[in-house]
Structure 1
Amino acid sequence: MTDDGNEDFEIDLPLLANFTHQVINPLNGVAGTLDNLVDGTIGEGRRVQRTKAARAQLEGVITLVRNLAYLSSTQYEADRPSRKIVLPQVVIEAAMYYQEEGAAKGISIDLLNKREQNKVPGHPEALRQVLMNLFDNAVKYSASDSQVKIRQWIQSSTGDAVITVRSVPRSMISEVEIRKIFDLGFRGGNARNIIASGTGLGLYICKFLMEKRLHGSMSVQRDGDGLLFTLKIPDGEEDDGRHN
């Protein structure tokens, strides 16, 4: 803990090296794609596909860098005034980055009650980053031809805004792994089997932002053949039913 009350995080060198590897590889891929587009190696029929793939790689790099920025700068969101978060708007904004990649794998990302305009005070950027990390993982590690289901509501007993994200992993992680899932640098067996290397930052950042920036909580549990993430943020404002 530092003198101003902020937590002092340390990232070990192997984790930082892994992070660097995860950034450099897709950037090299994008550079190679641009070279091939310029010199004509990529034919007309494949240009759109390869350009979209390059953009997806850049989105992944942006997510990684943003995660590191959130981790290294604990004042990033705290210095900004709290604003009104419209839950379905932020969910849809976060999901749009991964819809195309998910569709290519038969994975849909669906907010099941998007017409309910529930709200909560806080930092929209922080919640959007949490959801982007969850959707990124869902698209990477979910079973093909599955659905990522999102629901949002205001809990009547507590007034908390609740968002749940349910996905179906290709192989279910163990209870031991579930207990470690938010640990810094941890990657479960399902993730390692699909993508050998990774930073293990995403879910750690999610929990950090939920607790430190949004003053809420985040948990995960088995739900049949799926994993259910539950996000709670205090002082929710229920939809009043008036829509334009």
Structure 2
Amino acid sequence: MALDPEDLNAVFSSMAEGLVVIDNQQRVEALNQAGGVFLRIAPKQAMGMLIGDLLKLYHIEHNEQILWPVERLMKLDITRIHIWDHIYCENKIGKLFPITMMATPLLTAHAVSGAVILFRDATDEARADQAKSDFVAVASHQLQTPLTAIKLFAEMLDQDANELSEGQRREYLQLLRSSTERMIKLVNEMLNVSRLEAGAFRIQPEPTDLVVFIKGILKELGSLAKERSCILTFSEPSESLGALLIDTALLSQVLFNLVENAMRYSTKNTRHVTIKLEKKTARGEYAIHIEDNGIGISSGDRKRIFTKFFRADSARKIKSNGSGLGLYVVKMIVEAWGGTISFTSQTGVGTVFSVTIPAGGMEPRKGIKQLIQT
């Protein structure tokens, strides 16, 4: 069907992307509503402006303004869409924001009479690109330490083999093994982050007695608790909870991480960690609390505690080589099964992390991957 001018104007105004039409003199002939919102200018006010004054473009890396390639724009192949990205635009209130821009010559009566420019805010893409760059940079830095240690101990075993005592060889081999295990743990954590962020992992709940399950977790952690002079206590509910649909692999990962952290980050001679299970009455959900008498989390670190690669200053003083991925992964797992995670903390007194599970248990979810136990 043919569209009349009124219909075309409706289409023009309804577009989510900014659209500008310019003439051969580089002056604006039309600007749609979305473009006006992006640029903080009324479309009528933009009429007749030079395109370089309306759309001020910048190379952010070089901190320099881009001159509009008007002559080249008019000579572009009309059968192709020409795209500019990794550029920034300055709106009328002086704010720079990343845009992706597409342009093509405007052909009327078999002659180029101007150009049509389509643009959109690319802030989300820019943030995603920056997050990927940060992830690679931090991951490379984290991997460098264990890899350097592996190389060093391997060279010592190779070059000084005849001069080393049996005890020294055992020591270097143990250090080599520890560095290798640390690197494997870090790689597995990064793989889990990738799977969690992509939403590509499975949730496979099965009927589980939470009391029996948590007792099993604490039994597995018994030797580590003894090694760290930690007293583990389980406070179970007075009433029977029955079976609940739980993905035991995911819950294990969450509890191991939280309980190990609780045991690790303490400077006291005798460490106490209490796991409490309760059924909340408000919404019928289940809550697991992990309470310690450790170093606590400072007020300045609390807002960032679940951020990827973040480690609190107090934690770094006790254990310098953590990845900063543990709590980030825990939060994503808990939220994926429909639960919540929160904490209260007092510096020098201790911290309580609380994890909830929906009243009906975890919902199954299809996926191509399982998370790796770390």
Is the structural similarity TM-score above 0.5? yes
Q: CA deviation at 1:229?
A: 0.2
Q: Which residue of 1 aligns with 2:307?
A: 183
Tell me which moved more, 190-199 or 108-117. 108-117
Q: Would the alpha carbon gap of residues 188 and 205 (structure 1) be closer, same or farther in structure 2, given more than 3 Å must change?
A: same
Contact 2:146–2:180 (8 Å) recurs in 1? no
Q: CA deviation at 1:139?
A: 2.5
CA–CA separation in structure 1 for the residues paired with 2:165 and 2:275: 42
- What 5-or-longer segments of structure 2 have no aligned partner? 1-127, 362-374
Q: Which residue of 2 aligns with 1:68?
A: 190
**1:167-208 deviation digits (Å, cap 9, x = unpaired):** 122x33211212211111111111111122321100011100
Relative to total residues, which structure has the larger strand share, 1 or 2? Answer: 2
Q: Would the alpha carbon gap of residues 30 and 121 (structure 1) be closer, same or farther in structure 2, given more than 3 Å must change?
A: farther
Q: Which residue of 1 aligns with 2:231?
A: 108
Secondary structure, aligned partner of 1:165: strand
The residue type equivalent to 2:353 in the other structure is F
Q: CA deviation at 1:153?
A: 1.6
Q: Which residue of 2 aligns with 1:234?
A: 358
CA–CA separation in structure 2 for the residues paired with 1:225 and 1:219: 17
Q: CA deviation at 1:25?
A: 7.5
Q: CA deviation at 1:94?
A: 3.7
Q: Which residue of 1 aligns with 2:209?
A: 86
Tell me which moved more, 13-22 or 151-160. 13-22
The residue type equivalent to 2:224 in the other structure is E
**1:29-50 deviation digits (Å, cap 9, x = unpaired):** 9989xx99xx98249xx99xx9
Q: CA deviation at 1:62?
A: 6.1
Q: Which residue of 2 aligns with 1:173?
A: 297
Question: Cα RMSD over matched residues?
Answer: 3.9
Q: CA deviation at 1:147?
A: 0.9
Q: Would the alpha carbon gap of residues 14 and 108 (structure 1) be closer, same or farther in structure 2, given more than 3 Å must change?
A: farther
Q: Would the alpha carbon gap of residues 19 and 125 (structure 1) be closer, same or farther in structure 2, given more than 3 Å must change?
A: farther
CA–CA separation in structure 2 for the residues paired with 1:99 and 1:154: 26
Is 1:151 the equivalent of 2:276? Answer: yes
Tell me which moved more, 80-89 or 102-111. 80-89
Q: Would the alpha carbon gap of residues 158 and 117 (structure 1) be closer, same or farther in structure 2, given more than 3 Å must change?
A: closer
Relative to total residues, which structure has the larger helix share, 1 or 2? Answer: 1
Contact 2:340–2:355 (8 Å) recurs in 1? yes
Q: Would the alpha carbon gap of residues 65 and 119 (structure 1) be closer, same or farther in structure 2, given more than 3 Å must change?
A: farther
Secondary structure, aligned partner of 1:176: coil
Contact 2:306–2:328 (8 Å) recurs in 1? yes
Contact 1:70–1:76 (8 Å) recurs in 2? no
Count of aligned residue pairs for this structure pair: 220
Question: For the pair shown, which has the larger CA radius of gyration, 1 or 2?
Answer: 2
Work out which of the residue numbers 325, 344, 351 in structure 2 matches 1:221: 344
Q: CA deviation at 1:57?
A: 7.8
The residue type equivalent to 2:341 in the other structure is M
Secondary structure, aligned partner of 2:300: helix
The residue type equivalent to 1:129 in the other structure is Q
- What 5-or-longer segments of structure 1 have no aligned partner? 1-6, 238-244
Instruction: Work out the percentage of aligned pairs sharing the same amino acid.
Output: 23
TM-score (norm 2): 0.49
Contact 1:149–1:165 (8 Å) recurs in 2? yes
